């Protein structure tokens, strides 16, 4: 079967995702990655409605922390990503749906034990800036993300440190969303 650019046209009883072109699979991966944000928004609003904002934030923090570990495990297994250094952790950021699927990011490996992840564009931050303001940005980007980045780092090595180098609020929408240093000192 010829690689399909999309799934327009007639229904195919023998269709499998493997029949899609790389470009089509990439578009599907990106669409599925955005479900992280969509499901979080739906789940969070339901939690606020039922239990209030304080409980919703507490539960969101716990859920995303567990999700970081689960995502790391599944992606590492799926792509045979092995190791315990910063280079290994940065591979995860390049493929993880919660990061590479929704954010525009650069990973700069200084050496195997030192790297910088720059999130140039973050759709969640765009929403916070437009609809929620600085208080929400500081809660998510300064408090929750600090823990999540540590969760990603610690999945590969409990000694790895994730340190924010630049966090919002931004002066301009053209500024990077955030920048993180990952370091493993031996």
The pLDDT tens digits for 91-105 are 999 999 988 889 999
Question: For residue 1, is pLDDT > 70?
Answer: no
Residue 175 lies in a domain: yes
Q: Which domain holds residue 173?
A: 18-183
Sole residue written with tokens 């010829």: 2
Look at residue 7 and tell me if it is in a domain: no
Q: Identify the band that residue 156 occupies on the pLDDT scale cut at 50, 70 and 90.
A: very high
- Looking at the structure of the chain, the number of domains it has is 1
The answer to whether position 114 is within a domain reads: yes
Please give the C-alpha separations between residue 100 and each of 83, 128, 132, in angstroms, as whole numbers.
Answer: 20, 20, 24
pLDDT in tens, 16-62: 999 999 999 999 999 999 997 899 889 999 999 999 999 999 999 89
Average pLDDT over the chain reads 93
3-state secondary structure of 88: helix
Would residue 9 count as lying in a domain?
A: no
pTM assigned to the model: 0.88
Res. 75: pLDDT tops 90: yes
In terms of Cα–Cα distance, which of 166, 171, 99, 98 is closest to 129? 171
Lookup: tokens for 111: 């050496």
CATH number of the domain within which 81 lies: 3.30.1380
In a domain, 8, yes or no: no
Q: Give me the DSSP letters along 129-146.
A: IIII-HHHHIIIIIIIHH
- The answer to whether position 72 is within a domain reads yes
Q: What does the alpha-carbon distance between residue 60 and residue 37 come to, in Å, rounded to a whole number?
A: 12
| C-alpha distances in Å from residue 130, one per residue of 70, 123, 133, 137, 171 | 30, 11, 7, 11, 14
Residue labelled with tokens 């490996």: 109
Helix then strand count (H, E) for the chain reads 6, 4
Q: Is 182 helix (H, G, I), strand (E, B) or coil?
A: strand
Instruction: Kindly report the number of other CB atoms within 10 A of residue 141's CB atom.
Output: 21
Average confidence (pLDDT) over 147-156: 94
Residue 11 lies in a domain: no
Asked whether residue 1 is assigned to any structural domain, the reply reads: no
Whole-angstrom Cα distance, residue 167 to residue 125? 11
Lowest mean pLDDT among 76-85, 117-126, 136-145, 172-181: 136-145
- Categorize the per-residue pLDDT at 136 as very low, low, confident or very high, splitting at 50, 70 and 90: confident
């Amino acid at each position: 079967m010829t690689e399909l650019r999309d799934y327009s046209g007639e229904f195919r009883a023998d269709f499998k995702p493997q029949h899609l072109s790389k470009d089509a699979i990439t578009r599907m991966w990106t669409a599925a990655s955005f479900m992280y944000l969509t499901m979080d928004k739906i789940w969070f609003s339901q939690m606020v409605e039922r239990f209030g904002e304080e409980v919703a934030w507490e539960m969101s923090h716990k859920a995303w922390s567990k999700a970081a570990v689960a995502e790391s495990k599944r992606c590492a297994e799926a792509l045979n990503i092995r190791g315990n250094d910063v280079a290994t952790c940065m591979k995860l950021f390049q493929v993880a749906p919660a990061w590479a699927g929704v954010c525009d990011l650069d990973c700069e490996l200084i050496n195997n034990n030192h790297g910088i992840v720059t999130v140039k564009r973050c759709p969640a931050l765009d929403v916070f800036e437009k609809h929620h303001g600085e208080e929400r940005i500081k809660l998510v980007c300064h408090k929750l993300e600090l823990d999540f980045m540590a969760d990603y780092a610690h999945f590969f090595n409990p000694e790895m440190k994730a340190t924010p180098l630049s966090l919002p609020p931004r002066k301009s929408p053209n500024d990077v969303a955030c920048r993180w240093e990952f370091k493993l000192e031996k």
